Structure 1
Amino acid sequence: MKRTKLFLSLLCVALVATGCKGSVESPAVEDNSTKEDSQTTEVATQENSNFRPEIYSGKEYIFEEAYEDGVYSDAYVTGHYDMYKLSPETREAYPALNTAIEDSMNARKKKYDETHAEYLDSSKQLRESGEVSTFVLESDLFLRRADEKVISFVDQDTEYAAGAHGVTRYESYNFDVQSGKEILLADIVTDKEAFQSKLAQALTEKYGEDTFNDLEGNLEDLSLDNYEWAFDYNGITFYSNEFASYSAGVITANLPYDSAFLTQDFAINSNEGYISQIPLYYPDTTHIDIVDSLDEGISISPNYDPNNLDLFWIQSLNISKDGQTFTTDDLYVWDVEAYIIHMPDGTESLMLMTTGDNDYSCSYVYSLDGQIKLLSNDNFSHGMVCEGDDYGQIVPIDPEKVAFVSRFDLLATFGGTRNYSFESNGTFTSVDKYYKTSRTHQQDLVSKMELTVPVVDEAGEETGEEVTLPSGTHYSIIRTNGEDEVDCRIEDGRIIRFHLENPSGEGYIYDIEINGINAEDIFETLWYAG
Structure 2
Amino acid sequence: MRSKPLSLLLMSTIVCCLFSGCGKKGNDAATAPENNGTTEAAQNSTSDSAGDKSAEKSDENTKSDDETEDKTGEEEASEDAAENSESASPYDGVPPLVLHKTSKYEWNEDNKPYLKHYYSYLSLGKEYAASHSELAKNINDARDDIEAHEYDYYTLSMEEAKEYDDLTFECSWYTYLRRADSKYISFVNECENAGTFDFNVLSYIAHSYYVDSGKEIKLTDIVADEDAFYDLLAEKVKKNVDETLTDYMGEPSNLDKEGIKKSIKTCMQGTGCAWTLDPQGVTFWFDSNVFSPFSTSNTVFFSEDKDGKIFKEEFAKDIPDEWIMMMPGGDNTYFDEDDDGEENTVLSSEITEYDPDFDDYYVSGFMISYENDYKKYKGEEASSYFIFLMHKDHKNLILESHYEYDYALISAYPLVNGKIKQGDTMLAGLEYAWDEADEDEDAAPFYMPVGTEDIRVLIDEGGEEHDVKADTISVSMDGELYKKGDENAFDGPKSEEDLFTFMEGEWSLVNPVTLKDYGHMEIKNDGSFTYGYTGSDETCTGEFTPDHQYPGEKNVPLSFSVNVSGIDKMTFADNGYYVPDDGKDTSNVKLYYGSCDKEDFIYMEETGNGDSFMGSVLFQDQSSVDGSFSLSSNSYLMHRKNSETIEASANTGSFYAWVWKADDKGLWAQEMKPLTWDGENEYTLNRFTAAAFEPKQMSAEYYKYSDGIDKKLLLNGQRLEMEYPRYMCKLSIGSDGSIKDIEEVDSAFYGMYDLGDLDPEISYDGLKFNYNGATFDLEGKGAGNAILDVYHAYGKEIVECHVNPHTSLYYIFDKFRGEFCEEPIDGTNLIWLDDDFTTAIYAQKNEVRDLCGDFMFAVDGEEISDLEFTDGGKRVKCSYYVNGYSDVEEETFEMPERRDAAMNAYCNYVDSGRAGDYRKFMEYAPEDAVFLAVTDPQAWARDLFFLSDMLEETAVNYVMVVSLHDNSVVDVYKDGETCTATEYLDKGKSSMYKMTVSETMPLYTIKVTTDEDGKETTTEWPVTEFSGETYQHCSFITGR
| Pairwise TM-score range, normalised by the shorter structure | 0.5 to 0.7
Question: What SS does structure 1 have at the residue aligned with 2:152?
Answer: helix
| Residue of structure 2 aligned with 1:78, choices 116, 120, 123 | 116
Q: Who is 2:239 aligned against?
A: 205
Tell me, yes or no, if the aligned pair for 1:97 and 1:181 is still in contact at 8 Å: yes
Query: Aligned runs of 1:272-421 on 2, under 5 Å?
Result: 272-280=321-329, 291=330, 293-295=332-334, 297-300=345-348, 312=361, 318-323=367-372, 325-328=373-376, 330-334=378-382, 335-343=384-392, 345-356=393-404, 358=405, 360-370=407-417, 371-387=419-435, 389=439, 390=441, 391-408=444-461, 415-421=468-474
Q: What are the residue-to-residue correspondences of 1:51-200 with 2, within 5 Å? A: 51-67=93-109, 72-127=110-165, 132-162=166-196, 167-200=201-234
Q: What CA distance in whole angstroms lies between the structure 1 residues aligned with 2:327 and 2:280? A: 13
Cα distance in 1 for partners of 2:278, 2:40 equals 32
Contact 1:233 1:342 in 2 (8 A): no
SS of equivalent to 1:397: coil
Distance, in Å, in 2 between the alignment partners of 1:336 and 1:213 is 37
CA contact 1:159–1:166 (8 Å) conserved in 2: yes
**Residue equivalent to 1:255:** 300
Say if 2:277 is the partner of 1:231: yes
| Cα distance, 1:9–1:307 mapped onto 2, change above 3 Å | closer
DSSP-derived class of the 2:153 partner:
helix
Equivalent residue in structure 1 for 2:258, among 204, 211, 216? 216
Return the alpha-carbon distance in structure 2 between the equivalents of residues 157 and 271 of structure 1.
29
How many residue pairs align between the two structures?
387
Listed one character per residue, the Cα deviations across residues 426-476 of structure 1 (whole Å, up to 9, x for unaligned) are 22323379xxxxxxxxxxxxxxxxxxxxxxxxxxxxxxxxxxxxxxxxxxx
Structure 2, unmatched stretches of 5+, are 1-20, 44-90, 244-251, 335-343, 487-648, 651-702, 705-1040
Contact 2:328 2:349 in 1 (8 A): no
- Give the whole-Å Cα distance in 2 for the aligned partners of 1:349 and 1:8: 26
Asked whether the 8 Å contact 2:98–2:448 carries over to 1, the reply is yes
Question: Conserved in 1, the CA contact under 8 Å of 2:350 and 2:385?
Answer: no
CA gap of 1:236–1:66, structure 2 versus 1, over 3 A, is: same
Contact 1:199–1:255 (8 Å) recurs in 2:
yes
Q: Which of residues 465, 475, 481 in structure 2 aligns to 1:428?
A: 481
Letter in 2 for 1:211: S
> How far, CA to CA, are the matches of 2:354 and 2:107 in structure 1?
29
CA contact (8 A) 1:149 1:266 kept: no
**What displacement does 1:189 show?**
1.7
| Structure-2 change in CA distance of 1:337 and 1:293 (3 Å) | farther
Contact 2:461/2:468 (<8 A) preserved: yes
Alpha-carbon RMSD across the aligned residues, in angstroms, is 3.8
- Letter of the structure 1 residue corresponding to residue 125 of structure 2: S
Give the CA deviation at 1:198: 0.5
Could you say what secondary structure the match of 1:245 adopts?
coil
Label 1:413 to 1:317 Cα distance change in 2 as closer, same or farther (>3 A).
closer
Distance 1:293 1:265 in 2: 27
Q: SS of the residue aligned with 1:211?
A: coil
In 2, Cα distance between the equivalents of 1:9 and 1:330? 18
Q: How far did residue 106 of structure 1 move?
A: 2.4
Kindly state the Cα deviation for residue 216 of structure 1 after the two structures are TM-superposed. 2.0
Deviation track 1:273-307 (CA, whole Å, cap 9, x = no partner) reads 21101113xxxxxxxxxx47444511347776699
Return closer, same or farther for 1:307/1:77 CA change in 2, 3 Å cut-off: closer
User: What amino acid does structure 1 have at the position aligned with 2:203?
Assistant: R
C-alpha separation in 1, matches of 2:453 and 2:292:
42
Shift of 1:182: 1.1
Q: 1:88 to 1:342 in 2, by over 3 A?
A: same
Greater shift, 359-368 or 94-103, is seen at 359-368
* Structure 2 SS opposite 1:208: helix
Secondary structure, counterpart of 1:51 in structure 2: coil
Provide the rounded CA distance (Å) in 2 between the counterparts of 1:276 and 1:359: 28
Q: CA deviation at 1:411?
A: 12
Determine helix, strand or coil for the equivalent of 1:265: helix
Normalising by structure 1, what TM-score?
A: 0.64
Bigger CA radius of gyration: 2
Relative contact order higher in (CA < 8 Å, ≥ 6 apart):
1
Preserved contact between residue 157 and residue 196 of structure 2 (Cα < 8 Å): no
User: Which runs of 5 or more residues in structure 1 are unaligned?
Assistant: 20-48, 281-290, 434-481, 484-504, 507-530
The residue identity in structure 1 corresponding to 2:479 is G
Residue 353 to residue 145, structure 1, CA distance change in 2 (3 Å): same
1:390-418 CA-to-partner distances (Å, cap 9, x unmatched) read: 54201121212211222457997654332
TM-score by length of 2: 0.34
3-state SS in 1 of match to 2:394? coil
**Post-superposition offset of 1:338:** 2.0
Q: CA offsets per residue over residues 285-330 of structure 1, 9 Å max, x none? A: xxxxxx474445113477766997965456665533233x243554
Tell me what 2:713 maps to.
none
Deviation at 1:53, TM superposition (A): 0.6
Bigger mean CA offset, 96-105 vs 385-394: 385-394
CA distance in 2, matches of 1:301, 1:428: 22
Closer, same or farther: CA 336–159 of 1 in aligned 2, 3 Å: same
| Cα pair 1:292 1:299 within 8 Å, conserved | yes
- Residue by residue over 1:66-111, the C-alpha shift from the partner in whole angstroms, topping out at 9 and shown as x without a partner, is 12xxxx2432311211122101342144222112112222233233
Q: Which amino acid aligns with 2:411?
A: Y
Which digits, 9 at most, give the CA deviation of each residue in 1:215-270, with x for residues without a partner?
Answer: 42242352545541112222111111344221xx1111111124231223235755
- The residue matched to 2:112 in structure 1 has which SS? strand
Change beyond 3 A, Cα 1:212–1:95: farther
In structure 2, give the amino acid aligned to 1:266.
Answer: F
Q: Is the 8 A contact 2:414 2:477 kept in 1?
A: no
